[in-house]
Structure 1
Amino acid sequence: MKHKSIFTNTDNETTGELAFRSVRSDIIRGHLSPGQKLRLDQLKSQYGVAISTLREILSRLTAEGFVVAEGQRGFEVAKVSISGLQDIAALRLLLEIQALRQSIATGDLHWEARVVSSHYMLQSIESRLVEGDLSHVEQWVQHDWEFHHATISACNSPAMMAAHSNAFDHYIRYHMLALSFRGEAAAKEHAQLKELVLSRQTEEAITLLTSHVQSGLDHVLSTGKIPD
């Protein structure tokens, strides 16, 4: 089955698939806390699906790394850590660099339009945040994903896109726990990345992307909300 980010809405999904995406989203957004025990009776009432469906959902989330199976003791939300953030940031960057390189090489006008439109939405939110309205941080995380997703969307590799989306969702989970915006520097980097991508300056774009992800990682760690 094709992977979907938490920010992708799809019509005609089954009840089980909707519940899967709801549980997954609640973990990524921090509504289900790291280390929280996932009790089936409670989840049945919360998400409105059968115990057998919940077991399947939690097994799938275990395979994706969002849930940990505890043998006979059931399931719990996967914990977070500094080393975990560093690991997932490295994976995200590895995939994103390769996909960006391929997208810059093969992207057409439709791809350029996606990059421009997604950056316009991101810039609109970032302007509010820079002005001090921090009520839009969660919305910013969504548009940040959409912009980065757009820049690599012409890589012509569904497998790479799915792997990147999953890695990015893990990365988003840390951002949601920190729920902090890095400020004007991040907004300027996004604007510069857009221009480098559209002008097909591959190596310069990759250099900026690398420092951008590292700065984001450092910022999340600086909040002190990620345990050792």
Structure 2
Amino acid sequence: MSSPTLTDKVSKFIRHDILTGQLRPGQKLVVAELKEKYNVGASPIREALVQLSWSKYVKLEPQKGSWVASVCQDELKDLFDSLRVVSSVLLQKAIQSGDEHWELDVLTSFHKFSRLDTPKTDSDWTEWEERHMQFHKSLVEGANSKTMMAFFNDLINQIKRYRYFAITSHPENEDLYNIEQHEKLMKAALAKDAKAAAEVLETHLSNSMMAIEKSIAAA
């Protein structure tokens, strides 16, 4: 068995290549080809593919092999329907119980996020998406609900693959990086206006899903 450190590294390499479109949805993942690509042995490749199947980035079929997970409208809708429910509950709880530390985290994460220019390259998109994800996490972490946060993190990790698919397919789609909606969301949350925050969140999630749907339909 390979070392966990090497397996984790290989998993990150493959995950990065899936997100940036170097490995496309539905593409067959051949161990021999991946060995040459990443210059590692077969064991860490196989173990990394198993890891990535747990997060649904890779599909494994016994005796048949593995593929980059496909993208489809039904799964996308299911993910966003689930995210709407859990993120809405978490946001409401955070607004009700969030303290000064939560408020500072929200302000800081939005400030870091808003300082970025419109992404133009893969590295720009990677940084933008990481700060985007951190902002959304900071909004709901004040809820202090470990079980729902675990579900939330799983959902946004899966949706991240869909967002990157849309980004690499149609980087000009402004609904994927609408900073104004995020500013409205931040202000409503910090003003403790739960109703306004819920409305902005719903609009943001709906716009994001529709932007991704367009990319899937055009693929």
TM-score by length of 1: 0.81
Residue type of the alignment partner of 2:47: E
Mapped partners of 1:41, 1:137: distance in 2: 30
Letter in 2 for 1:38: L
For residues 58 and 97 of structure 2, the distance between their equivalents in structure 1, rounded to whole angstroms, comes to 37
Structure 1 residues 164 and 184: CA distance shift in structure 2, 3 A = closer
Question: Does the CA contact (< 8 Å) of 2:141 and 2:149 recur in 1?
Answer: yes
Aligned to 2:182: 190
Note the C-alpha offset of 1:150. 0.9
Pair 1:49–1:164, CA change in 2 (3 A): farther
Query: Of the candidates 154, 161, 171, which is equivalent to residue 142 of structure 2?
Result: 154
1:124 is the counterpart of 2:115: yes
The equivalent residue for 1:9 is none
After TM superposition, the structure 1 stretch with the greater mean CA deviation from structure 2, 137-146 or 168-177, is: 137-146
1:173 paired with 2:169, answer: no
**Which residue identity lines up with residue 141 of structure 2 in the other structure?**
S
Identity of aligned residues (%): 26
In the alignment, residue 75 of structure 2 is paired with which amino acid?
G
SS in 2 for 1:33: coil
Which residue pairs with 1:19 in the alignment? 10
Q: How many residues align?
A: 210
Compared CA separation, residues 51 and 226, structure 1 to 2 (3 A): farther
How many angstroms does 1:151 deviate by? Answer: 0.5
Normalising by structure 2, report the TM-score. 0.84
- Is 2:198 the counterpart of 1:206? yes
SS of residue paired to 1:155: coil
After superposing on structure 2, the runs of 4+ consecutive aligned residues of structure 1 that deviate more than 6 Å are none
Q: Which shows bigger deviation, 80-89 or 209-218? A: 80-89
Cα deviation, 1:120-142, whole Å, max 9, x if unaligned, reads 122222xx33xxx7444443222
Seen in structure 2, the aligned counterparts of structure 1 residues 106 and 161 have a Cα distance that, compared at 3 Å, is same
Counterpart of 2:129 in structure 1: which amino acid?
Answer: V
What is the correspondence of 1:1-228 to structure 2 with a 5 Å cutoff? 14-125=5-116, 128-129=117-118, 134-135=120-121, 136-179=124-167, 180=171, 181-182=173-174, 186-222=178-214, 224-226=215-217
Ranges in structure 1 where 5+ consecutive residues have no aligned partner: 1-12
Q: CA RMSD in A?
A: 2.4
Q: Distance in 1 between matches of 2:69 and 2:11?
A: 16
Structure 2: stretches of 5+ with no match in the other structure = none
Bigger mean CA offset, 49-58 vs 170-179: 49-58
